[in-house]
């Protein structure tokens, strides 16, 4: 039954995905100041409560970085935490790879109390924990082999500290198959507590994160495990949330030193018309604003599907309120005979403070730990579905726009190496920008969002990267600022800049709801950037136009022509316009971008004839001055140009190359503000090398042509001789045609052949 439903789901494929990111910032873009601190295998990150220090767990080391200045990462202190040669040797003796598995990878790094950090590392496949004295930044005592984090550097675990006690979820054996959820460093003489091993409470869990609800004394763990309540041929993975009570001390006779509060529930994340997204990748806890009830805490989860393709993911949001409701509802227990999970009635289950309850109740707790209902996401489905991107991490924040309306921003790390900034607009979310974080695919292990600092920190195999949450200054005009639909940015009318909102906005223009954006900004008739281009006749010209956004539609206009005929102009997908300089095509061009009803001129060009000393004045449509070729090609910035008119980096070619070449270097990032004149125009940059190969090809073609003509003539000659007929005038035409072509080609190597053919002709 389930199988057939599943099949049906798989067959129904829906397109419902996000539109492309509005703007893209590549790694080397000058617009977005992404800073990196290079460090091998960054695994854990946390920001000090005053946001001035970033603590980093990496390979064989723990560091503190000074982040008091936004976007700048400088090292403060470092403790080395490396296994000894003997320990590494032991690790490799156990069949583990010395380089890959045997260093010490820090799994957990967190503040335990006001004076100490707690750390746990894989430590040559023999996990160890340690304390770090914050005052001296030194390791106090490497505490020995307590198995509070996984042996494998690649297995995920979770740890958090609350009131000086440590709560962990990890595997505790070499193979990584024995899961454990426990409390350590228990205070006031109460015992440390862990999972009951009477029943298998967890089945191959992959822990993702944990979160504390200190107001209600509960800890929640998020993970994916095998769902043995389902009968399915394939092992079915199920995303879950589990709870324990922070102050649980275990039962007196039954469940001694074991959780009496452990319970688990399934999480649902199912996009419409698609298979359920059943693998939880990451879960971000968004605390409610100061003063709100903790039940308003939100959990943002990234889910992928066990079945669907490689690049698909969804984000579902859960409320703490819904989670607590499910845990205080009905439970199921495993029926020993039928091996099925059947509903039970037990009012006490899932509550805190059961330690002194009767044996009967504790027996019920022991066997009934799975809730009857699942936790449904807000609005019963994902807030975002992407068919193209496989996200691995999420961070969320809420912000107030200039008009006081609240918006949710998501920062999603895609496996492709891009960070997507998404605003959850109604009815459809939008990726307002993407930022490239790294070029080589690599493991992202930790993401920290600081809305106070306006920075997102990402920990990867290569280091820590700091990305600003907003890049308002990258939007140079009012319309670009408004079109960005970034709740964090607004156009300041008094200062004429796109600026980050500060909270006391008087004169900013911001319009976040989609639709026609006309008349939002003051009338802007600016000609955009102005550039001048000098060209020779018949020269190939390429005018570039940088698309201000991926959603903008570009159009070109000419001062004289109504429309630009396709016979004369080539438009490339990158927005550039190519044509051959002629009397008709000289003049002024402007490139206009249109988006959401808003038009603006991006760039304007004036294409002029280049003054040349030897020129006898421009002859529209005449044959080329062939002798120009050798003098112009090798030195693009020819000496014949006056300093006032430096030559554009173009080449005059006898036969123009009109093909749009995507590998021509694109416009540089630096753009001067209008109105400024630039003559170093980005027009057809044909490297001398390309020119040479082009001439080579021309020679080959010409030679072939000449050979063909020869063959035709020989054939004709012999036929004629044989027939001895008086049809001589007929084959004079091709001869003339051919010789004319040869002339215009001006290829020296052709000379002899040409002579040969004329000789042949004369012979007639
Ligand atoms: C940025 O990097 C891309 C590829 O990584 C490259 O093609 C481009 O030329 C670079 N741009 C600049 C301005 O360095
Ligand atoms: C913090 O924890 C460490 C390690 O357990 C302990 O030595 C230290 O006394 C604690 N400090 C405070 C202020 O509780
Ligand atoms: C450590 O970094 C290397 C690349 O620098 C990567 O191949 C490896 O998977 C990383 N190991 C872990 C445990 O993240």
Give the CATH number of the domain where residue 502 resides: 3.30.1680.10
**Nearest atom within ligand 3 for CA of residue 59:** 1
Position 12 scores a pLDDT of 37
The pLDDT of residue 48 is above 50: yes
Domain boundary among 515, 542, 570: 515
The pLDDT of residue 735 is above 80: no
Residue 212 or 501, more confident: 212
The pLDDT of residue 299 is above 90: yes
Out of 100-104, 309-313, 599-603, the most confident range is: 100-104
Is 663 in the same domain as 750?
Answer: no
The pLDDT of residue 713 is above 70: no
Position 519 scores a pLDDT of 72
For residue 187, the ligand closest to its alpha carbon is 2
For residue 141, the ligand closest to its alpha carbon is 2
Candidates 88, 91, 159; CA nearest to 120 is: 159
Mean pLDDT confidence for 709-734:
47
DSSP letter at 730 equals G
Residue 652 or 512, more confident: 512
Q: Is the CB of 103 under 6 A from ligand 3?
A: no
Position 440 scores a pLDDT of 83
Query: If you average pLDDT over every residue of the chain, what do you get?
Result: 80
Is 500 in the same domain as 569?
Answer: no
Instruction: Tally the domains of the chain.
Output: 5
Is 350 in the same domain as 219?
Answer: yes
Residue 134 lies in a domain: no
Residue 195 lies in a domain: yes
The pLDDT of residue 644 is above 80: no
Position 677 scores a pLDDT of 36
Position 502 scores a pLDDT of 80
The pLDDT of residue 724 is above 90: no
Is 619 in the same domain as 690?
Answer: yes
Tens-digit pLDDT profile for residues 351-374: 898 888 888 889 888 889 999 999
Residue 355 lies in a domain: yes
The pLDDT of residue 685 is above 60: no
Q: What is the distance of C-alpha 276 from the center of its chain?
A: 24
Q: Is the dihedral of CA 703, 709, 714, 717 positive or negative?
A: negative
CATH number of 539's domain: 2.60.40.10
Q: What is the DSSP string of 289-344?
A: PTTS-GGG-EEEEEEE-SSS-SS-EEEEEEEHHHHHHHHTS-EEEEETTTTEEEEE
Rounded CA-CA distance 666/522 in Å is 31
Residue 763 lies in a domain: yes
Is 258 in the same domain as 182?
Answer: yes
Residue 501 belongs to domain spanning: 472-515
Is 224 in the same domain as 368?
Answer: yes
Domain boundary among 484, 515, 546: 515
The maximal CA–CA distance of the chain, rounded, in angstroms, is: 125
628: enclosing H helix or E strand:
helix 628-632
- Of 212-216, 268-272, 417-421, 688-692, least confident by mean pLDDT is 688-692
Is 542 in the same domain as 556?
Answer: yes
**Nearest atom within ligand 3 for CA of residue 153:** 13
Is 565 in the same domain as 677?
Answer: no
Is 177 in the same domain as 256?
Answer: yes
Tens-digit pLDDT profile for residues 475-510: 988 889 999 999 999 999 889 899 998 877 678 888
Is 559 in the same domain as 485?
Answer: no
Distance 122 CA to ligand 3 centre (A): 13
Q: Is the CB of 153 under 6 A from ligand 3?
A: yes
Residue 414 lies in a domain: no
The pLDDT of residue 64 is above 70: yes
pLDDT band at 512 (very low <50, low <70, confident <90, very high): confident
Position 740 scores a pLDDT of 36
Nearest residue (by CA) to ligand 2, atom 9, is: 115
Candidates 264, 183, 186, 273; CA nearest to 225 is: 264
Nearest residue (by CA) to ligand 1, atom 11, is: 28
Q: Is the CB of 296 under 6 A from ligand 1?
A: no
Residue 377 lies in a domain: no
Residue 389 lies in a domain: no
Mean pLDDT confidence for 258-284:
93
Is 350 in the same domain as 483?
Answer: no
Position 31 scores a pLDDT of 77
Residue 200 lies in a domain: yes
Q: Is the CB of 28 under 6 A from ligand 1?
A: yes
Is 678 in the same domain as 585?
Answer: no
Cβ 273 vs Cβ 299: under 8 Å: no
Mean pLDDT confidence for 595-605:
88
């Amino acid at each position: 039954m389930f199988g057939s439903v599943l099949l049906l789901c798989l067959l129904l494929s829906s397109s419902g995905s996000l539109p492309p990111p509005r703007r893209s910032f590549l790694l080397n873009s000058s617009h977005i100041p992404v800073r990196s601190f290079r460090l091998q295998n960054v695994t854990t990150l946390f920001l000090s409560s005053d946001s001035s220090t970033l603590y980093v767990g990496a390979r064989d080391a723990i560091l503190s970085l000074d982040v008091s200045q936004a976007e700048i990462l400088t090292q403060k202190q470092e403790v080395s935490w490396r296994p000894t040669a003997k320990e590494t040797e032991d690790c490799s003796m156990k069949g583990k790879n010395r380089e890959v598995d045997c260093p010490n990878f820090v799994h957990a790094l967190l503040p335990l109390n006001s004076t100490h950090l707690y750390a746990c590392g894989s430590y040559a496949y023999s996990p160890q924990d340690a304390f770090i004295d914050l005052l001296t930044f030194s390791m106090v005592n490497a505490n020995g082999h307590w198995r509070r984090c996984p042996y494998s550097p690649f297995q995920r675990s979770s740890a958090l500290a609350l009131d000086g006690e440590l709560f962990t979820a990890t595997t505790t054996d070499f193979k990584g198959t024995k899961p454990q959820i426990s409390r350590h460093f228990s205070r006031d003489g109460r015992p440390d507590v862990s999972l009951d091993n009477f029943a298998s409470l967890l089945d191959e869990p992959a822990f993702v994160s944990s979160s504390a609800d200190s107001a209600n004394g509960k800890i929640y763990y998020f993970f994916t495990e095998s769902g043995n309540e389902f009968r399915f041929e394939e092992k079915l993975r199920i995303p879950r949330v589990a709870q324990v009570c922070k102050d649980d001390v275990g039962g007196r006779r039954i469940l001694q030193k074991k959780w009496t509060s452990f319970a688990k529930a399934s999480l649902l994340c199912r996009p419409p018309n698609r298979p359920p997204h059943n693998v939880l990748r990451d879960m971000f806890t968004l605390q409610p604003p100061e003063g709100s009830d903790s039940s308003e805490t939100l959990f943002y989860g990234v889910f992928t599907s066990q079945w669907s393709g490689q690049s698909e993911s969804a984000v579902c949001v859960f409320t703490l309120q819904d989670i607590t409701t499910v845990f205080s509802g009905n439970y199921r227990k495993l029926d020993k005979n039928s091996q099925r999970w059947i509903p039970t009635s037990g009012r006490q289950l899932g509550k805190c403070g059961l330690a002194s309850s009767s044996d009967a109740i504790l027996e019920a707790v022991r066997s009934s730990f799975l809730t009857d209902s699942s936790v449904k996401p807000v609005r019963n489905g994902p807030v975002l579905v992407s068919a193209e991107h496989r996200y691995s991490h999420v961070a969320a924040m809420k912000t107030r726009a200039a008009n006081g309306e609240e918006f949710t921003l998501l920062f999603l790390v895609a496996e492709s190496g891009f960070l997507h900034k998404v605003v959850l607009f109604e009815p459809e979310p939008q990726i307002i920008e993407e930022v490239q974080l790294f070029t080589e695919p690599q493991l992202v292990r930790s993401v920290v969002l600081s809305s106070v600092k306006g920075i997102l920190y990402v920990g990867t195999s290569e280091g820590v990267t700091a990305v600003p949450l907003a890049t308002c200054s990258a939007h140079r005009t009012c319309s670009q600022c408004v079109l960005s639909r970034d709740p964090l940015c607004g156009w300041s009318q008094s200062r004429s800049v796109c600026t980050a909102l500060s909270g006391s906005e008087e004169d900013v223009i911001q319009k976040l709801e989609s639709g026609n954006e006309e008349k939002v900004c003051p009338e802007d008739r600016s000609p955009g950037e102005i550039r001048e281009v000098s060209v020779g006749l018949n020269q190939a010209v390429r005018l570039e136009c940088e698309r201000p956004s991926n959603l903008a539609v570009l159009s070109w206009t000419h001062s004289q022509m109504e429309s630009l005929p396709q016979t004369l102009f080539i438009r490339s997908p990158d927005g550039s316009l190519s044509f051959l300089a002629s009397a008709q095509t000289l003049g002024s061009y402007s490139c206009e971008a249109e988006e959401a009803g808003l038009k603006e001129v991006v760039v304007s060009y004036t294409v002029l004839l280049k003054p040349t000393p030897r020129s006898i004045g421009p002859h529209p449509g005449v044959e080329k001055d062939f002798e120009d070729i050798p003098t112009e090609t090798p030195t693009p910035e020819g000496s014949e140009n006056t300093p006032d008119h430096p030559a554009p980096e173009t080449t005059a070619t006898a036969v123009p190359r009109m093909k749009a070449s995507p590998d021509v270097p694109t416009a540089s990032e630096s753009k001067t503000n209008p109105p400024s004149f630039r003559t170093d125009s980005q027009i057809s940059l044909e490297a001398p090398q390309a020119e040479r190969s082009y001439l080579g090809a021309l020679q080959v073609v010409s030679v072939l042509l000449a050979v063909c003509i020869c063959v035709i003539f020989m054939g004709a000659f012999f036929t004629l001789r044989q027939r001895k007929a008086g049809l001589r005038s007929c084959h004079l035409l091709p001869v003339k045609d051919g010789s004319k072509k040869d002339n215009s080609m001006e290829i020296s190597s052709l000379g002899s052949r040409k002579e040969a053919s004329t000789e042949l002709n004369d012979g007639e």
